[in-house]
Amino acid sequence: MAKRMIPDIVIGRLPVYLRALGFLIAEGRQITSSQELGDRLGISSAQIRKDLSHFGEFGKQGTGYDINFLYEQLRTILKVNKMWDVVLVGAGNLGKAIADYGGFKGKGFHIQAIFDNKEDKVGKPMGIDNLVVQPTSELGETIKSRGIMVGIIATPAEEAQAVARTMVDAGVKAILNYAPITLTVPSNVRVQYIDPVVGLQRMTYYLPEK
Amino acid sequence: MAKRMIPDIVIGRLPVYLRALGFLIAEGRQITSSQELGDRLGISSAQIRKDLSHFGEFGKQGTGYDINFLYEQLRTILKVNKMWDVVLVGAGNLGKAIADYGGFKGKGFHIQAIFDNKEDKVGKPMGIDNLVVQPTSELGETIKSRGIMVGIIATPAEEAQAVARTMVDAGVKAILNYAPITLTVPSNVRVQYIDPVVGLQRMTYYLPEK
DNA sequence: TAGATTGTTAATCGATTAACAATC
DNA sequence: TAGATTGTTAATCGATTAACAATC
């Protein structure tokens, strides 16, 4: 079947499939099956086949999937076969770790500018590309002039909503938010949240009492 | 209604409710409603009431919820009214940012030990508590001797599965995994994943072509 | 009392799974 | 051919929502 209002939950699994395929490629494998992929990811083979069926027919009966082919197909579907320019706001401990992370390139993302409010951060080089940290006052202008659509927020919670607002006003359509706060954005803007405390608190319910 | 096989998806939202209630408290508010909470979080008021109804009756008709009371109830349900000891493995850029993060204490988590393989990391103090980084060879022993049940993995992907294995063998029941790989663990062990690349790739599908 | 908001029910909506014909 | 695995259908399962009696 062709492209027709794919459930968000399906889109959400594709990057995980993509990541697993990347490992298979690194292992030198050529062919895999929905069964093997499911076993590795802890989900059913039926779900993988159903998810993929939203976008086309990528496998061969009796054989399975060509790993490299499926990998490229998924990259195209997710639009990460091109590089997306990204702005990063927040140059503290977390921002630094993000700027130093080598895992974005090759996965479709390139941090093009870093911003911070603090005097002692601005003007200094940071991250794997040695980007000079700019004052946050320049955020909107930079986004607009470079047509950037993806932003990462790594500020304290108190500043996050204002930063999101500036990003959105300047044209950002996707925000990865590390600040521990739910952002209010227009419905045409996507937000993904990363909060380690939420992650941990989702598990303690299931732990035996100490 | 009382405690009786709560859906995991409900448990997953409680930390987000808790976080929002924390903000309301910080704002000095006393009372809120499922409507207000839902508006702030972008979910329906019905869902909030339904979620809470799994655990008891916390509100008052015509009035709403006492914020402090509900906050404490959720902390108790999630078992984050006590402190959980945590081990952190990986003392690179990311591990350092996690160790330096002040947001765990007060939310129920206390990093008690940090581990790394690298010679140049071991023996040095790190994080807000100035913990001396231990060699990863000591991980299992430390977990066992202190009865630790929560682990954070911030190693490269290649090392993550082995670390998870060691953690689980030593008694860890909840793992927050920053490494970009799906872990294989026994079904009685919970894992939460934090992968910024997956977060970003979940959004690009929806972006207009450049 | 009048207005507001809960907790809960029942209906709706959506996601997952089992099963199998098709076919490599 | 025999065995394996896909893509898809239909059934099942589970989650969300709308609506409202209860009641503060």
Give the CATH number for residue A132: 3.40.50.720
pLDDT at B3 > cutoff 80: no
Task: Give dist(CA B87, CA B153) in Å, integer.
Answer: 9
Q: Mean pLDDT over residues A121-127, rounded? A: 97
Q: Mean pLDDT over residues A14-20, rounded? A: 98
Please give the protein residue whose CA is closest to the C1' of the nucleotide C23.
A61
Could you tell me if residue B22 is inside a domain? yes
> Residue A49: in which H helix or E strand, if any?
helix A45-53
**With bands split at pLDDT 50, 70 and 90, how would you rate the model's confidence at B163?**
very high
Same domain, B32 and B93: no
* Residue of A111, A46, A107, A37 lying closest to A79 (CA atoms): A107
Same domain, A151 and A110: yes
Same domain, B102 and B134: yes
Could you tell me if residue A149 is inside a domain? yes
Could you tell me if residue A167 is inside a domain? yes
Please give the protein residue whose CA is closest to the C1' of the nucleotide D9.
A50
Percent of all residues in chain B with a pLDDT value above 70, rounded to a whole number: 98
Could you tell me if residue A95 is inside a domain? yes
Same domain, A109 and A170: yes
A65: CB within 7 A of chain D nucleic strand: yes
Same domain, B73 and B104: no
Q: What is the pLDDT of residue A210?
A: 64
pLDDT at B209 > cutoff 90: no
Domain boundary residue, one of A77, A96, A119: A77
Q: What is the pLDDT of residue A4?
A: 57
Inspect the interface and report whether the beta carbons of A180 and B84 lie closer than 8 Å. no
Q: Mean pLDDT over residues A104-117, rounded? A: 97
Nucleotide nearest to A53 (CA to C1'): D7
Please give the protein residue whose CA is closest to the C1' of the nucleotide C18.
A46
**With bands split at pLDDT 50, 70 and 90, how would you rate the model's confidence at B1?**
very low
- Neighbouring CB atoms inside 10 A of B31's CB total 16
Using a 10 angstrom Cβ sphere, with 0-12 exposed, 13-18 middle and 19 or more buried, the burial of residue A27 is exposed
| A148 close to B181: Cβ distance less than 8 angstroms | no
A67: CB within 7 A of chain D nucleic strand: no
Q: Mean pLDDT over residues B99-122, rounded? A: 97
Task: Give dist(CA A16, CA B63) in Å, integer.
Answer: 44
Task: Give dist(CA A93, CA B101) in Å, integer.
Answer: 8
- How confident is the model over A128-177, as pLDDT tens digits? 999 999 999 999 999 999 999 999 999 999 999 999 999 999 999 999 99
Same domain, B111 and B21: no
**With bands split at pLDDT 50, 70 and 90, how would you rate the model's confidence at A207?**
very high
Q: What is the pLDDT of residue A209?
A: 81
Same domain, A186 and A92: yes
Residue A174: strand pairing partners: A150, A190
pLDDT at B82 > cutoff 50: yes
> Residue B6 — left, alpha, or beta (φ > 0 → left; ψ -120 to 50 → alpha)?
beta
Could you tell me if residue B206 is inside a domain? no
Domain boundary residue, one of B77, B96, B111: B77
Nucleotides in D strand less than 7 A from protein CB: 3-9, 14-19, 21-24
Nucleotides in C strand less than 7 A from protein CB: 2-9, 14-19, 22-24
> Residue A170: in which H helix or E strand, if any?
helix A157-170
pLDDT at B208 > cutoff 80: yes
Task: Give dist(CA A16, CA B14) in Å, integer.
Answer: 25
The alpha-carbon gap from A104 to the nearest alpha carbon of chain B, in Å, equals 6
Q: Can you say whether the dihedral through the CA atoms of A83, A89, A91, A95 is positive or negative? A: negative
When the pLDDT of each residue in chain A is averaged and rounded to a whole number, the result is: 96
Which CATH number goes with the domain that contains A57?
1.10.10.10
Cross-chain CB nearest to B203 (options A192, A202, A203): A192
Inspect the interface and report whether the beta carbons of B176 and A196 lie closer than 8 Å. yes
State the residue range of the domain holding A104: 84-198
B9: CB within 7 A of chain D nucleic strand: yes
Partners of B40 on chain A (C-beta within 8 Å) are 182, 184
Q: What is the pLDDT of residue B2?
A: 35
pLDDT at A116 > cutoff 50: yes
Same domain, A88 and A184: yes
Same domain, B89 and B193: yes
pLDDT at A91 > cutoff 80: yes
Q: Mutate which of A76, A197, A206 to disrupt the B interface (most B C-beta within 10 Å)?
A: A197
Could you tell me if residue A66 is inside a domain? yes
Inspect the interface and report whether the beta carbons of A19 and B173 lie closer than 8 Å. no
Total domains, chain B: 2
Could you tell me if residue A96 is inside a domain? yes
Partners of A161 on chain B (C-beta within 8 Å) are none
Q: What is the pLDDT of residue B36?
A: 97
Same domain, B121 and B192: yes
Domain boundary residue, one of A77, A105, A123: A77
Inspect the interface and report whether the beta carbons of A93 and B94 lie closer than 8 Å. no
Percent of all residues in chain A with a pLDDT value above 70, rounded to a whole number: 98
Same domain, A72 and A104: no
Same domain, A56 and A22: yes
| CA of residue B170 relative to chain centroid, distance | 20
Q: Phi then psi for A11, rounded to 5 degrees?
A: -55, -40
Q: What is the pLDDT of residue A3?
A: 42
Could you tell me if residue B210 is inside a domain? no
